[in-house]
A and B are shown apart, each in its own frame.
Chain A
């Protein structure tokens, strides 16, 4: 094979604006996201290792991790159960006023968190409309935090499961029924497996949001050290005491957890996409 002289060509794009749009995007995220976030890690290095460990493993801080993690987990599970039911009902069953109910699901995204916080606190306080019916305290306990976090995370599971149910191929269910499966078997063996990636994604999103949530929680939590003090509040408190190093150290822990969650969410989506592409 004889080799022809190759005329090297500069690659250019047919559609214009690559340099401008990518340049602008990179500059914007660098200044507004990457630079500020890197400050957390840079500032952490002003502490030495033992100080850092001491700060992030302080008894009160560890209690806040447990609280934040536990309440976010509980809220996430509640959202998985009720979110799936709500999505199911919205997609499958006709009832009057469905459009409005469907629109209302996004309320937690639209309503300022502080507004949600004071409203929920008023409702679930011992003398509140709902609180008065219970012998035990809801607001100002971890239970109240779970309620606020459930409110905040509600749309995530509903909105990830809903489209999957909507696009679900009814023929598959009919096939299952024609092969002799009853309704429950069809749900567990045919429908649920298809929903699981969406449910997992919705759960991770709600969980990630709940871990960092501040606005709706501070009002209902009562903010008692060791008992109802969430991690973001500890950062806030340290900032108010001008303990920047301490605040930054705890922020580092939270950031690492956030990155991990983001990674897990992307993995779920990657695995699901791959699964669907191959089938």
Chain B
């Protein structure tokens, strides 16, 4: 489903024999088109971010990323990620275990439900939590009476982020565990291992790369989620602004260099994500 990149893609050139080879001119033209398109759409924006970030010099850059508002946005983003990613990882493993190791009715419906957040606009993902916990929401009055704040506070941001990133780990593990089948678990059980030991010693090592891969994707999306968080955060500076929201505010206030400075930090994270992702793919292929 949307946003799902299956593990194990390798940029290897397949063997092409002379009969299944295009003329040189066509090969070069196609390669040029592909690279030009990627340069225009991917490389150029990335370069822009770093150049704009340093346009006003190193001092401005450092000032932008060490500004108290920026620091608190970084802290909040990290906090959200630290809560969201482990929760969705546990969920992903549980869901994949239930779906791939057992037969039950309604399995396909469950898979579709897990896919839903990928298909839904992030703005709606935020909206639903306003409808639940906002002042006029279903639990709004009750929360107000008990002096609890969900929307326009950390819990709301966490909920919206969980919603948006919910499918990543599960979606990565389901096909992987499906392909691995249940034979190794059965072997472990006949050898006298308990269910928990079987999971820990047999299943977990088998899915570790897939799990890590799902975690990386989940993590990247959790850090960068904008639409859903934008709806539920309330944009309170230094309080409920995550890094993407902080960038938006700076940008709208025409503090371009500062906005791009924070953006460059996030771009570095994105590049690290891509590198780690490729390392995992390589590892998964070579073990």
Size bracket, chain A contacts? 35 or more
Specify which of A22, A213, A248 is in contact with B104 (CB 8 Å cutoff). Answer: A22
Q: Which residue of B lies closest to A19 (CB)?
A: B98
Assuming the contacts A89-B30, A90-B34, A244-B131, asked whether A111 and B267 have C-beta atoms less than 8 A apart, the reply is yes
Please indicate which of the listed interface residues A17, A20, A95, A162 has the most CB atoms of chain B within 10 Å of its own CB: A17
Interface residues of A in 243-274 (CB under 8 A from B): 244, 247-248, 251, 254-255, 258-259, 261-262, 265-266
Contact partners of B99 in chain A: CB under 8 A: 25
Question: Contacting B94 at CB < 8 Å: which of A24, A94, A150?
Answer: A24
1/0 contact trace for A147-164 toward B, CB 8 Å? 100110011100100110
Asked if B217 and A129 sit within 8 Å, CB to CB, the answer is: no
Residues of B within 8 A of A107 (CB): 42, 46, 270, 274
Partner of A111, one of B23, B37, B224, B260: B224
Contacts of A173 in B (CB 8 A): 19-20
Say how far B65's CB is from chain A's closest CB, in angstroms.
Answer: 14
Once bound together, how far apart are the Cα atoms of A99 and B13, in whole Å?
10
- A13 to B31 CA separation, bound complex (whole angstroms): 53
Tell me if B201 counts as interface (CB < 8 A to partner A): no
Q: Determine, out of B56-64, B141-149, B204-212, B244-252, the stretch whose residues face the partner at the interface.
A: B244-252
Contact for B132 among A35, A120, A170, A261, CB less than 8 A: A35
B106, chain A: closest CB distance, angstroms: 10
Task: Name the contact of A113 in the complex, choosing from B136, B198, B224, B275 (C-beta under 8 A).
Answer: B224
B54 lies within 8 A of chain A by Cβ? no
Q: Which residues of the other chain, B, contact A42 by a CB distance below 8 angstroms?
A: 138
Give the residues in chain A near B34, CB-CB below 8 Å.
Answer: 82, 85-86, 88-90
Looking at chain A's contact residues, the main secondary structure is helix
Residue interface mask A101-138, B partner, CB < 8 A = 1: 11111111111111110111011000001100000000
Q: How far is the CA of A91 from the CA of B12 in the complex (A)?
A: 7
Interface size class of B (residues with CB under 8 A): 35 or more
- A119 to B266, alpha carbons, bound, how many Å? 12
Task: Report yes or no: B45 in contact with A120, Cβ–Cβ below 8 A.
Answer: yes
Nearest chain A CB to B135 CB, angstrom units: 9
A211 at the interface (CB under 8 A from B): yes
Which A residue's beta carbon lies closest to that of B275?
A103
Residues of B228-279 contacting chain A, CB below 8 A: 230-231, 243-245, 247-248, 251, 256, 259-260, 263, 266-267, 270-271, 273-275, 277-278
A79 to chain B, nearest CB (A): 10
A21 CB–B CB distance under 8 Å: yes
Question: Does the CB pair B130–A244 fall under 8 Å?
Answer: yes
Verify if A189 is at the interface (C-beta below 8 Å from B): no
Q: Counting CB contacts under 8 A, is A208 at the interface?
A: yes
B226 touches A262 (CB 8 A): no
Q: How far is the CB of A174 from chain B (nearest CB, A)?
A: 5
Residues of chain B within 8 A of A236, CB atoms compared? 123, 230-231
Is there a chain A Cβ closer than 8 Å to B189's Cβ? yes
* Chain A residues, CB < 8 A from B224: 110-115, 215
Stretch in A26-34, A54-62, A192-200 touching the partner: A26-34
Given known A-B contacts A13-B102, A103-B277, A111-B266, A155 and B131 have beta carbons under 8 A apart:
no
Say whether A101 contacts B35, CB under 8 Å. Answer: yes
- Write the nearest CB–CB distance from B282 to chain A, whole angstroms: 9
CB atoms of A119 and B98 under 8 A apart: no
Task: Report A-chain residues with C-beta under 8 Å of the C-beta of B112.
Answer: 262, 266
> Is A226 on the interface with B (CB-CB < 8 A)?
no
CA distance A104 to B270 in the complex (A): 10
- CA of A122 to CA of B51, assembled, Å: 11
CB within 8 A of A123: which of B2, B48, B129, B185?
Answer: B48
For the complex of A and B, the 9 pairs showing the least CB-CB separation, nearest first, are: A112-B224, A212-B121, A16-B195, A215-B226, A214-B227, A102-B11, A36-B128, A21-B98, A119-B45
- Contact residues of A with B, CB < 8 Å? 13-18, 20-22, 24-26, 28-29, 32-37, 39-40, 42-43, 82, 85-86, 88-95, 98-99, 101-116, 118-120, 122-123, 129-130, 147, 150-151, 154-156, 159, 162-163, 165-166, 168, 170, 173-174, 177-178, 183, 186, 205, 208-209, 211-215, 219, 231-233, 235-236, 239, 244, 247-248, 251, 254-255, 258-259, 261-262, 265-266
A-B contact pairs, 6 of them (CB 8 A): A17-B98, A35-B132, A82-B34, A166-B10, A208-B118, A239-B127
Write the residues of chain B forming the contact surface with A, with a CB cutoff of 8 angstroms. Answer: 1-3, 5-6, 9-17, 19-20, 22-23, 27, 30-31, 33-35, 37-38, 40-46, 48-49, 52, 91, 94-95, 97-99, 101-102, 104, 110, 112-124, 127-132, 134, 136-138, 159, 162-163, 166, 182, 185-186, 189, 194-195, 198-199, 217, 220-221, 223-227, 230-231, 243-245, 247-248, 251, 256, 259-260, 263, 266-267, 270-271, 273-275, 277-278
Contacts A112-B263, A215-B230, A215-B244 known; 9 new A-B pairs at CB < 8 A: A21-B98, A99-B11, A99-B278, A114-B226, A115-B247, A115-B263, A183-B20, A214-B122, A251-B127
